Structure 1
Amino acid sequence: MVRVLFLHPDLGIGGAERAVIDAALALKSKGHEVQFVTAHHDSSHCFQETKDGTLKVTCVGDWLPRKICGKFYALCAYIRMIYAALYVVFSPSVQFDVVFCDQISACIPVLLLSLAKIIFYCHFPDMLLTKRKSFLKTLYRKPLDKMEEYTTGMAHKVLVNSHFTAGIFKDTFKSLGHVQPTVLYPIPDFNALNKPVDEDFTEKLPKKPCLFLSINRYERKKNISLAVMAFEMLVEKHGTSKVHLIIAGGYDERVTENREYFKELQDLVDKLGLTENVTFLRSFSDAQKRSLLTRATSLLYTPENEHFGIVPIEAMYLECPVIAANSGGPLETVADGATGYLCDPVPDRFSEAMSNFVTDDGLRKKLGEAGKQRVIEKFSFKQFTEQLCGIVENLAQDKSHNISPIWILTVISVVFIIIVLCLPWF
Structure 2
Amino acid sequence: MRVLFLHPDLGIGGAERLVVDAALALKERGHEISFLTNHHDSLHCFKETADGTFPVCVVGDWLPRRLFGRFYAFCAYLRMLYAACYASFFMPQREQIDVVFCDLISVCVPVLRLARHRPRVLFYCHFPDQLLSARAGLLKRLYRAPINWLEERTIGMADKVLVNSKFTLRVFQDTFRRLNTVPDVLYPSLHTQYFDKMEQKLEQRSALLEEPVHARVPRNSFIFLDINRYERKKNHALALHSLRLLGNMLPTLDFKRCRLIIAGGYDTRCLENVEHYAELEKITAELKLQDHVVLLRSPTDEEKCSLLYACHCLLYTPENEHFGIVPLEGMYFCKPVVALNSGGPTETIVHTSTGFLCDKEEQSFGAAMYQLFRDDQLRIKMGELGRKRVQQKFSFEAFADRLNNVVQDLQPGSKKTK
Normalising to structure 2: TM-score of the pair?
Answer: 0.93
Query: 1-side partners of 2:182 and 2:325: how far apart?
Result: 23
Structure-2 separation of matches of 1:358 and 1:119 = 45
Question: CA offset at residue 285 of structure 1?
Answer: 1.2
Residue number in structure 2 paired with 1:27: 26
Structure 1 residue 33, shift from structure 2 partner: 0.3
The reply to whether residue 312 of structure 1 matches residue 313 of structure 2 is no
Deviations 1:151-198 (A, max 9, x none): 00000000000000000000000101x211010111121111112347
CA contact (8 A) 2:320 2:343 kept: yes
**Matches of residues 9-408 of structure 1 in structure 2 within 5 Å?**
9-93=8-92, 94-114=95-115, 115-176=118-179, 178-194=180-196, 195=198, 196-197=201-202, 200=211, 202=213, 204=215, 205-238=217-250, 239=252, 240-398=255-413
Give the whole-Å Cα distance in 2 for the aligned partners of 1:260 and 1:325.
24
Counterpart of 1:375, as a letter, is V
Whole-Å Cα distance in 2 between the matches of residues 35 and 203 of structure 1? 36
Secondary structure of 2:275's match?
helix
Deviation at 1:202, TM superposition (A): 2.6
- Whether contact under 8 Å (1:208, 1:244) holds in the other structure is no
1:290 partner letter: C
Partners of 2:182 and 2:91 lie apart in 1 by 34
Q: How many residues align?
A: 401
Could you tell me how far apart the structure 1 residues matched to 2:373 and 2:351 are? 18
Gaps of 5+ in 1: 404-426
Distance 1:75 1:188 in 2: 33
Quick one: distance in 1 between partners of 2:262 and 2:385?
25
Report how far residue 209 of structure 1 moved: 4.0
CA deviation digits over 1:267-304, x for unaligned, max 9? 00001111111001011111111111111111000000
Query: What letter matches 1:234 in structure 2?
Result: L
Are 2:212 and 2:219, in contact at CA under 8 Å, matched by a contact in 1? no
In 1, the alpha carbon distance for the partners of 2:298 and 2:134 equals: 27
Q: In the TM superposition, what is the alpha-carbon distance from 1:334 to its structure 2 partner?
A: 0.4
- Residue 200 of structure 1, CA deviation: 4.3
Output the TM-score relative to the length of structure 1: 0.91
Q: Are the counterparts in 2 of residues 206 and 244 from structure 1 also a CA contact under 8 Å?
A: no
In 2, distance between residues paired with 1:222 and 1:382?
30
Per-residue CA deviations over 1:118-148 (Å, capped at 9, x if unaligned) read: 0000000000012443221111000000000
Alpha-carbon contact 2:133-2:141 (below 8 Å) kept: no
Q: Which amino acid aligns with 1:214?
A: D
Letter in 2 for 1:185: Y
The one-letter amino acid of 1:104's match is I
Shift in Å at residue 398 of structure 1? 3.6
Identical aligned residues as a percent: 53
**CA gap 1:92/1:73 in 2 versus in 1, 3 angstroms:** closer
Structure 2 residue matching 1:83: 3-state secondary structure: helix
Q: Which amino acid aligns with 2:329?
A: E
Please report how far the alpha carbon of residue 383 of structure 1 lies from its aligned counterpart in structure 2 after TM superposition.
0.2
- The one-letter code matched in structure 1 to 2:192 is F
Q: Deviations over 1:311-356 (max 9, x none)?
A: 0001100101100000000000001001100001110100000001
Structure 2 unaligned spans of 5+:
none
Distance in 2 (CA, whole Å) between partners of 1:259 and 1:334 is: 31
